[in-house]
Amino acid sequence: MALSNVLYAEKQYQYAIIPETTAMTANVTSMKLIPVSGKPTITPNVFRRQAVQAGDGNTAKAADIKVAPLGSITSISIPTYMEETLIMMFLENGAGKARVIETGELVIAFNHTPAACGKDVEFTDNTGTLTYAEISPIAAKTEVYAGCVVSSITVSATKGTDNGLFSATVELLTQSPVLEGQSTPTGLAAYTLSSKTIGTLCDTSTIAAEAVNLNSLEVKYAFNPIHVGQCTDGDAITIRKNVPELGVDYTIGYAVDGNFDEEQTKGRLATTFALDFSDGTSSTLLFKSASVNPTTTPTYTDVEGVAMWTLNAKAFALTSGNLAEIQIG
């Protein structure tokens, strides 16, 4: 075969996602495009075994290699700009919990238990499984991954980086085998980029009920899904989300100012305290936990001549209230 003079650029690939109405059954109708900030990374975990057998000469033999693709977990890492509808969909999926209809908030209660998810279970919301597609510019070369669940989401913004705009990294897992050589999905819905920045939070955000001058914020939601069992087609029988827990971790950079609590920042206090990062009464951007504790010794930095602390904290549930409240959009 002769060399081809037709070359493709990375920007010609597209990436799309959609909830599945039947868990682990691919859905490619009216998928929504994902505004990626770089090429997503797909990491298969296909089992390969090379037996040690006597052969003809001191060489490995192809006949001794066994490949077992079914039942393996594929991970997909998606670097993305903030698209509010998509990020909330991903959060609902990872938590196995739908948003509050009246407010649009995702509320993770102190006694949170995710929705059950198993093969062929029907869903009418975002809490089950997702179909992800890597859409190739080459005809009939699209790859489709059914049965995806969100394993983690990291949302972050830093003043002075991309003008403080929020971005996110979404991690997916699936046990369902990839569908290769698929046609390009039709009816793709466009995304709308968010204009939310770290500045959106600066006027009303608090640490331990004290107003805080934010320089950076990173919130990681770890959903920890477990795939249990294996059907004949390779799909999991059951997917259990949030095992052993739904984790919420904050990394906060903020200025030393008149409200600065040195004991709190340095983690010297045994009591927990609240974090509330919001845009105030409009409530279109909210990251909140009623009870957190520092997890590492805070670090000091100098940012443009201003003293800054970086605080790492983990959310803990109490006997009432909420572990986390989230709203984006």
Q: Identify whether the C-beta of residue 265 lies closer than 8 Å to the C-beta of residue 256.
A: no
Provide mean pLDDT across the span 60-72. Answer: 80
Is residue 246 predicted with pLDDT exceeding 60? yes
Cis amide leading into 244 (omega within 30) = yes
For residue 135, pLDDT beyond 90: yes
Q: If you average pLDDT over residues 219-236, what whole number do you get?
A: 95
Query: How far apart, in whole angstroms, are the C-alpha atoms of residue 209 and residue 212?
Result: 9
Which tokens is 25 given? 């059954």
Q: Please compute Rg for the chain using Cα positions.
A: 23
pLDDT for position 38: 94
Where in the chain are the domains?
10-44+64-232+240-328
Comparing CA positions, the residue from 90, 133, 22 lying closest to residue 329 is 90
107 compared with 298, residue with greater pLDDT: 107
pLDDT of residue 76: 98
> Are 76 and 42 a contacting pair, CB within 8 Å?
yes
User: pLDDT at position 296, please?
Assistant: 80
Residue among 275, 303, 291 nearest 210 (CA): 275
Each residue's pLDDT tens digit, 139-190: 999 999 999 999 999 999 999 899 999 999 999 999 999 999 999 999 999 9
pLDDT tier, 210 (very low <50, low <70, confident <90, very high otherwise) = confident
Give residue 263's identity as a one-letter amino acid code: E
Tell me the range of 112-126, 263-277, 292-306 where mean pLDDT is highest: 112-126
Residue 24: CA count within 13 A, CB half-sphere: 20
Confidence of residue 58 (pLDDT cuts 50, 70, 90): confident
Number of H helices, E strands in the chain: 2, 23
